Amino acid sequence: MPIEVTGADGTTKSVNVDVPARCSDRVTAMWLQIHGLEYPDMVSIRVNQSEWMALNNKTVTVAEPGRSYGGIGGGVTTLKLTLLLPATTVVDGRNRIDFRFNHTNGVVSGFRILAFNFLDNSRGEVLPKETFREEDPNTWEPPLRGAENIAAGKSLWHNAQLTANGLANAPPIRAHCDDCHTQDGRDLKYFNFSNASIAARSRFHGLSELEGEQIASYIRSLPFPNPGRPWNPPYQPGPGLDAQPLTNWAAGAGLEWVLANDADTLPFLFNAPGAGDKGKVTAAAIRPAFLPDGNLNQREIPIAFPLPDWNHWLPQVHPLDQWGERFEHSEFSRMYAASDYRKAVSEGDAASFFDKWSKARNQFLIPHLAPTSRRWTPELTEAFYSAELWQLVKTWEITQQSNLEKGGQTFYGVETAAHSWPDTIPAGTAPAAVNIPDGANGMSGSALTNEYFNNAWYELQLQLNSGAHRRHGRLPVDWVYLIGRFLDLEKVSERPEPGRLLIAIIKAMQSSDPRIGPENISEGWRPEQNVDPRIMVAREWLPELSPLPADMKRAITEALLAAWLEKTLQYPAASYFQRGLVASSYARPTDLQDISGGRVWEDAAEFQATGVNPRLIQRVEEWGKTYRDLTQLFHY
């Protein structure tokens, strides 16, 4: 394992498995985990003499979390699914299974079977675990020996003339392999793309079998670490990630730490004994997590939200092929091509380069189209989004080449620590960052897929650089907008995520410097610029928090409210006011007014209904009276 099925339309791979005696008559279904299952009817399966069975949302049952994000054809493309089998399909002894890649959509060139098994009528697995063996990438050798083949592969990587895709009469493109991937090819080595998959993708882009094997030989020869796999989402959080070498961080914790249920995040979040058993969470475990001056390690907390795999970091069309000379002569292109980042990195201030580069991208894409613009089309969406992805891939390239994840760079005047990026490029990759709309002109023509990717890239920003007590205004994370995306996703997925939401709320509280008070509007504790405890009782947010048991919700609400109040009371009430300060200096979205702004005392009745300690509510109201009185004094 895995079984890779890559190549031209109709490519088939076959395997044989032995079913134990007297077990076949109990087999009713087949369970599979597939990577790269992008659209309905892309894959078909045949067992022995059965008919070919195409995989789509009508023929299979998709497991969570993939099902809630659209199943086959949605935002998540590594899926666990169950396929019912006709009676007598499986026999005792040797059984042959055929996997077929039916057809490309002009983007994909195959898929991988990561795991499978036959299931009996009680959904137990029939094939013993020793049936399967994981392939070890460290045993792979270059398909072609000799320095001349490696040199030829390197030259092809940088210079080969490619075609757009594997469809008939595909046009030539200007971009080369190193334009959409990393310049040196380290991404294919790092994530362990196999020789066969590299060769197949080379053929997909118009090269010969020999040229594909030469490129694969070049990739195999690269002296870079290779802890990743193509299906494991980069930077996916999970226990033990920090204990590994820093070079492994980008490989993520693995698909095994993508939880099926958001509720299973809570024991890890609250550090409960026997993490994984939601019944172990207690009020005593909940309270410490909400300390605004604390340091919640989000990298070690698994979530039930799969981040995009490396294939979904890569742009489908290079900006050079979309905009030609306009891109080639732009500052957006020049800053990367001229390696402007090298000087900033050497001076310990890579953040300044990324900040300027982000502005250059925005200027290149100006005028930003409003989400309601009639000019949006699926083609324009793909062009804008691909420009975002190109910048993200090149940011990963620069980060790896310059060893930026070890910290030591300056981010808004504070030195970054290990396990961080000194930029906001991940958040800038969200479709919403360039106003790509939900609906027919959004990602894959789907509001659900559009909101999945909005959440995915904001979540990646939270994992890579959440501020960690070095907030600078609304950067590196605009917390109100980020948390608003949870609600946008829940409305179209109908899948609430209170665990992942609570992580974001805590990281938002921990984004300001504990040493800086509210007099510093940009960096200090400013409740009106953040998410406040009213989110726990706001009517619109009830569906997002609905999975929480009543006692747990009360304990969480009380802990959050108490932490917020204690932090707010650390400073004199007058320090939250400044003469000449305009109230609209931070423009909160109108539909998020009920969870931000700091006027927590206004929801005293709602907190009381949740069962929060009356004395705590009284103290909040007393603070509110003091604040209102000062408001009149300062005419704020």
pLDDT for 629 equals: 85
* Percentage of residues in the chain having pLDDT higher than 90: 80
Tell me the torsion sign for CA atoms 363, 397, 305, 538: negative
Residue 271 has pLDDT above 70, yes or no: yes
Q: Which residue type sits at 184?
A: D
Band (pLDDT 50/70/90 cuts) for residue 636 is very low
Q: For residue 461, give the nearest of 434, 435, 422 by alpha carbon.
A: 422
582 compared with 18, residue with greater pLDDT = 18
pLDDT band at residue 583, thresholds of 50, 70 and 90?
very low
Element (H, E) at 98: strand 93-101
Residue 588, pLDDT score: 63
Return d(Cα 267, Cα 276) in angstroms, integer: 6
Q: How confident is the model at residue 634 (pLDDT cuts 50, 70, 90)?
A: low
**And the tokens for 608?**
């009381």
The H-or-E segment that residue 398 falls in is: helix 378-401
pTM exceeds cut of 0.95: no
User: Average pLDDT over the chain, rounded to whole?
Assistant: 92
pLDDT beyond 90 at 528: no
The yes-or-no verdict on residue 585 having pLDDT over 60 is no
Written as six digits, the tokens of 395 are 């940011």
pLDDT digits (tens, 9 = 90+) for 360-404: 999 999 877 888 888 999 999 999 999 999 999 999 999 999 999
- For residues 154 and 330, give the distance between their C-alpha atoms in angstroms, rounded to a whole number: 27
Per-residue pLDDT band for 1 (boundaries 50, 70, 90) equals very high
Kindly tell me if the per-residue pLDDT of 615 is higher than 50: yes
Angle between helices 209-221 and 147-159 in degrees, nearest 10: 100
CA-CA distance, 82 to 63, in Å (whole number)?
8
- pLDDT tens digits for 544-575? 999 999 999 999 999 999 999 999 999 998 88
Q: Are 384 and 434 in contact (CB under 8 A)?
A: yes
What tens digit of pLDDT does each residue of 160-179 get?
999 999 888 899 999 999 99
What sections of 87-236 are H helices per DSSP?
147-159, 177-180, 186-190, 195-204, 209-221
Question: What is the token pair recorded at 194?
Answer: 């196999």
Structure tokens at 93: 């002894």
What pLDDT was estimated at residue 582? 47
Radius of gyration for the alpha carbons in the chain, expressed in angstroms and rounded: 26
Instruction: For 314-328, write each residue's pLDDT tens digit.
Output: 999 999 999 999 999
Instruction: Dig out the tokens for 340 from the structure.
Output: 């402007």
Q: In this predicted structure, what is the pLDDT of residue 584? A: 47
As a whole number, mean pLDDT of residues 102-112 equals 94
Buried b (16+ CB within 10 A) or exposed e, 598-620: bbbbebbebbeebebeeeebebb
Q: Does 56 have pLDDT greater than 90? A: yes
* Burial letters 6-32, b for 16+ CB under 10 A, else e: bbeeebebeeebebeeebbeebbbbbb
DSSP state of 316: S
Task: Please give, one letter per residue, the 3-state secondary structure of 239-278.
Answer: CCCCCCCHHHHHHCCCHHHECCCHHHHHHHHCCCCCCCCH
Instruction: Give me the torsion for CA of 411, 413, 414, 418, rounded to 10°.
Output: 30
Q: How far apart are CA 348 and CA 346, in angstroms?
A: 5
Tracing tokens 């055929």 back to the chain, one arrives at 98
3-state secondary structure 569-592: CCCCHHHHCCCCCCHHHCCCCHHH
Domains in the chain, ordered, with CATH? 3-133 (2.60.120), 138-221 (no CATH), 258-300 (no CATH), 307-446 (no CATH)
Euclidean distance between CA atoms 557 and 612, whole angstroms = 7
- pLDDT-derived band at 414, boundaries 50, 70, 90: confident
- DSSP 8-state symbol, 360: H
Distance CA 509, CA 526 (A): 10
- Band of residue 30 on the pLDDT scale cut at 50, 70, 90: very high
C-alpha distances out from residue 496 to 43, 131, 311, 500, 543, Å: 30, 37, 27, 9, 7
Q: How far apart are alpha carbons 80 and 104 in whole angstroms?
A: 21
Q: Residue 273 pLDDT > 60, yes or no?
A: no
CA distances (Å), 505 to each of 416, 476, 532, 534, in order?
A: 22, 15, 8, 11
Residues 634/580, Cβ–Cβ less than 8 Å: no
* % residues pLDDT > 70 (the chain): 96
Give the span between the Cα atoms of 95 and 211, in whole angstroms: 36
